[in-house]
Amino acid sequence: MRCQFCNKERVDRVFYINWMGTVYQVPVCADCLQKMWNQAAASGKTEEFKNYTGWWPGKRDPRHMGDRAFPETAVPGLIKRRKLAALKIRLTEAAETENYEEAAKLRDDIAVIEKEVCTHGN
């Protein structure tokens, strides 16, 4: 993919812009991105640039951050949701095999976890 501005082969970032209902793909190389940042800084528009592009000099790319790409606060909610999904599958299997005691226990466990997930907003 080539940079929209200088036509270089190496593109570091691709922005998607919704203009009047049509989404446009705008590939940008690092040099042009830095030039755009410098222009925004010179005109005092760095906050607008950050909000519009989601990029600023020194910001690390989430693809290169490993486990830090996800905040630690998201992990407990994710674990609960995965456990909930597994319990629902087991509930379906228990009902299909007519294991009603197990199904009732699973139903109660699901209700408790659903209440936790909804209460904490995770």
Q: Are 94 and 102 in contact (CB under 8 A)?
A: yes
Indicate whether 4 belongs to any domain.
Answer: no
Distance CA 27, CA 80 (A): 38
Out of 30-34, 77-81, 82-86, 97-101, least confident range? 77-81
The confidence score (pLDDT) of residue 104 equals 93
Average pLDDT over residues 105-118: 86
Domain identity same for 80 and 115? yes
For residue 57, what are the domain limits? Answer: 13-65
Q: What's the pTM?
A: 0.41
The confidence score (pLDDT) of residue 26 equals 83
The confidence score (pLDDT) of residue 66 equals 52
Tokens of 20: 């009047």
Indicate whether 28 belongs to any domain.
Answer: yes
Residue 86 has pLDDT above 60, yes or no: yes
Indicate whether 2 belongs to any domain.
Answer: no
Indicate whether 1 belongs to any domain.
Answer: no
| Residue for token pair 């992990």 | 75
Buried b (16+ CB within 10 A) or exposed e, 76-102: eeeebeeebeebeebbeebeeeeeeee
Indicate whether 36 belongs to any domain.
Answer: yes
The alpha carbon of residue 121 and the mean position of all alpha carbons in its chain are separated, in whole angstroms, by: 17
The confidence score (pLDDT) of residue 105 equals 93
